[in-house]
Chains A and B, each alone.
Chain A
Amino acid sequence: MDADRVQIMMGNQAAAAGALAAGCTFYAGYPITPSSEIMEILAAELPERGGVFIQMEDEIASISAVIGASWAGARAMTATSGPGLSLMMEGVGYAAMTETPCVIVDVQRAGPATGQATRIGAGDILQARFGSHGDYCPIALSPWSVQEMYDLTARAFDLAERFRVPVFVLADEGVGHLRESLELHGEIEIARRRRDPSAPPFGTDSPDGVPPMPAFGDGARLMVTGSTHDEWGYRRVDHPEVHARLVERLNRKVLDHTAEIARWDERLCDDASLVVLAYGFTARSALAAVKQLRAEGVRAGLLRLETLWPFPEDAVTALSGRVDALLVPEMNRGQVALLARACARCPVHGLSQTDGEVIEPERIAERAREVLA
């Protein structure tokens, strides 16, 4: 084993390492189980590297500090869990409206509310997409391994900078506290903001374009507001066409690039009659279940979503046209099953478990046998 590049890490440690490899220079947060290790590590590491770490009074202040730091030119992030994410939603909407790149690692636990602090859940999928009011379109990634805690946290910075949006890493307690080996990549190339003080920072000629983003201190006169604004940042709170154009672009700059953003992984799907559609830690159970079913002669496959938002509809639609059934095991009451039903061409069966425990492979295999019977 290459002692430098290949290491054993806990998922939360890997997320912190991925952030540092991506050039994260600012972290503001409030500690919460099961995400706290990320904060603990960055509290030690960032000041050593000339970065800034601040423990804020709560999660609303945390996301607000992250947004401000991003406008000062920092690659900024926070990490939290469900209860903290709920508080951050005001800031998430503000980041979307002001087109502020930021990364939010959400290590999900069993909710609602305080729920079970140390137990696993996946109840934040729809909240990440629709948690703040109005129409906007964040990006969300779903790691299933310690390797992906590292890779996808780094990718979240790249996507945040590229599209000027908040990007969620929707992890869970399972991957956050899992220890396994991963390969480190040293420094990771991240999209650089275009900093053009002569160009409008909130508009482009293209209805799905991403405008350049100057930083405070670059010399431009800069206004940043969560109210409706024109391409130069002037408030236009009573102009229907300005509002419509802005909201349209805020959504299309992400949705029109779904093919570039969305990633998924198909395993054993070529001749499959039943495909398990899974994400996050549950996809690890699903993979074991699919192999078990194959060993029994059942033609099962796995569609594993690495990107949850924008939802990879085309992948689900295409694959569901070739199989008899989709089975969606989830540690929530069917949040992704709901999305799959809206775009699938075959019946979609759910398997929900909301007891704070991991869904065991055998439970998925058993449900698959029921569906096929």
Chain B
Amino acid sequence: MDAQKVQVRFGGLGGQGLVTLGAVLAEAAARSGMRVAASQQYGSRARGGATRADVILAREEIDFPHIHRADVLLVLAQEAYELYLPSVTEAGLVLADPFFVKLAERGGRKQLLVPATATAIEKVGKQVAANFVLLGALLGYTELVPDEAVRAAIAKLVNPRFQAINLEACSLGAGLGRALAEEVGPWR
């Protein structure tokens, strides 16, 4: 990671596993020597309702641990896309799942489609693994944190019953992310 600070926001609906993604990314980044702060906002419902999980990755101590503007937005729901797109910086990156999100042409942000849900259904056999396909795509595209740190974070934080499918989802996502980098050029 070259920048001093990268602010990542995951947006979707309650139940899609965004808070888990935030925790995994934070754990992985800390394991690779970065300062991290992760937070989330959700409603009282266990499922549904716009939800976000935010992670700050930094080289230096983090004073204010919440995100003001996001450098990267990953979205799994139209409602969340519309709600959180304005928080993305003008030079920011958006990775959206076309199964749920229709991109609008707004600003100079780099907005890319990652078929996370389709991949989860067709290749993993579990739609619930879509979140980890999306995380994998982020890491494959941006190389924010090394693969082994992500694997260690999944091993620590994910229920052992679901580790194998999430590792598979993450690695399929990383492939999609690397392909995107070749297709549209690297991040930054």
A252 within 8 A of partner (CB): no
The interface residues of chain A lying within 8 Å CB-to-CB of B62 are: 180
**Is the CB–CB distance between A178 and B65 below 8 Å?**
yes
Cα separation A179 to B31 with both chains bound (whole Å): 14
**Is the CB–CB distance between A178 and B37 below 8 Å?**
yes
State the Cβ distance, B135 to closest chain A Cβ, in Å. 16
Residues in B127-175 with C-beta less than 8 Å from chain A: none
**Is the CB–CB distance between B64 and A179 below 8 Å?**
no
**Is the CB–CB distance between B43 and A118 below 8 Å?**
yes
**Is the CB–CB distance between B31 and A178 below 8 Å?**
no
Residues in B14-46 with C-beta less than 8 Å from chain A: 22-23, 26-27, 30-31, 33, 35-44
State the Cβ distance, B59 to closest chain A Cβ, in Å. 14
Main secondary structure of the interface of A (DSSP, over half): mixed
**Is the CB–CB distance between A179 and B23 below 8 Å?**
yes
Cα separation A177 to B22 with both chains bound (whole Å): 12
Cα separation A105 to B35 with both chains bound (whole Å): 27
Known: A8-B27, A33-B44, A360-B68. A181 touches B63 (CB 8 A): no
Give the total of B residues in contact with A, Cβ under 8 Å: 23
Report which of B27, B63, B68 forms a contact with A284, defined as CB distance below 8 A.
B63
State the Cβ distance, B152 to closest chain A Cβ, in Å. 9
Q: Nearest CB to that of A362 among chain B residues? A: B68
**Is the CB–CB distance between A179 and B43 below 8 Å?**
no
Per-position contact with A for B59-82: 1 when CB-CB < 8 Å, else 0? 000111110100000000000000
Cα separation A358 to B31 with both chains bound (whole Å): 28
The interface residues of chain B lying within 8 Å CB-to-CB of A287 are: 63-64
The interface residues of chain B lying within 8 Å CB-to-CB of A8 are: 23, 26-27, 30, 36, 38
Report which of A1, A177, A360, A362 forms a contact with B31, defined as CB distance below 8 A.
A1
The interface residues of chain B lying within 8 Å CB-to-CB of A228 are: none
The interface residues of chain A lying within 8 Å CB-to-CB of B65 are: 178, 180, 284
Cα separation A161 to B82 with both chains bound (whole Å): 52
A288 within 8 A of partner (CB): yes
**Is the CB–CB distance between B66 and A358 below 8 Å?**
yes
The interface residues of chain B lying within 8 Å CB-to-CB of A358 are: 66
A51 within 8 A of partner (CB): no
The interface residues of chain A lying within 8 Å CB-to-CB of B35 are: 180-181
Known: A1-B30, A1-B31, A8-B30. A179 touches B63 (CB 8 A): no
The interface residues of chain A lying within 8 Å CB-to-CB of B38 are: 8, 178-180
The interface residues of chain A lying within 8 Å CB-to-CB of B22 are: 179
Give the total of A residues in contact with B, Cβ under 8 Å: 21
A285 within 8 A of partner (CB): yes
Cα separation A10 to B38 with both chains bound (whole Å): 9
Known: A1-B33, A8-B26, A33-B44. A177 touches B39 (CB 8 A): yes
**Is the CB–CB distance between A181 and B64 below 8 Å?**
no
**Is the CB–CB distance between A284 and B64 below 8 Å?**
yes
The interface residues of chain A lying within 8 Å CB-to-CB of B40 are: 177
Cα separation A174 to B64 with both chains bound (whole Å): 11
Cα separation A1 to B33 with both chains bound (whole Å): 7
Report which of B26, B33, B64 forms a contact with A285, defined as CB distance below 8 A.
B64
Cα separation A362 to B31 with both chains bound (whole Å): 31
Per-position contact with B for A267-285: 1 when CB-CB < 8 Å, else 0? 0000000000000000011
Cα separation A10 to B42 with both chains bound (whole Å): 16
Residues in A155-199 with C-beta less than 8 Å from chain B: 174, 177-181
State the Cβ distance, A282 to closest chain B Cβ, in Å. 10
Q: Nearest CB to that of B56 among chain A residues? A: A180
**Is the CB–CB distance between B64 and A361 below 8 Å?**
yes
Q: Which of A179, A181, A285 has the most CB of B within 10 A?
A: A179
Cα separation A1 to B154 with both chains bound (whole Å): 17
**Is the CB–CB distance between B41 and A178 below 8 Å?**
no
The interface residues of chain A lying within 8 Å CB-to-CB of B43 are: 118
Cα separation A362 to B66 with both chains bound (whole Å): 13
Q: Nearest CB to that of B39 among chain A residues? A: A178
**Is the CB–CB distance between B31 and A180 below 8 Å?**
no
State the Cβ distance, B56 to closest chain A Cβ, in Å. 9
Residues in A320-360 with C-beta less than 8 Å from chain B: 358, 360
Cα separation A362 to B44 with both chains bound (whole Å): 28
Per-position contact with B for A111-127: 1 when CB-CB < 8 Å, else 0? 00000011000000000
The interface residues of chain B lying within 8 Å CB-to-CB of A249 are: none
Q: Could you list 13 A-B pairs, sorted by A, with CB under 8 Å? A: A1-B31, A8-B36, A8-B38, A118-B44, A177-B39, A178-B39, A179-B23, A179-B36, A179-B37, A285-B64, A288-B63, A360-B66, A361-B64
B binding-site residues for A, Cβ under 8 Å: 22-23, 26-27, 30-31, 33, 35-44, 62-66, 68
Other than A179-B39, A360-B68, give 5 A-B pairs with Cβ distance below 8 A: A118-B44, A177-B40, A178-B39, A179-B22, A284-B65
Closest 6 CB pairs of A and B: A288-B64, A179-B38, A288-B63, A287-B63, A180-B37, A8-B30
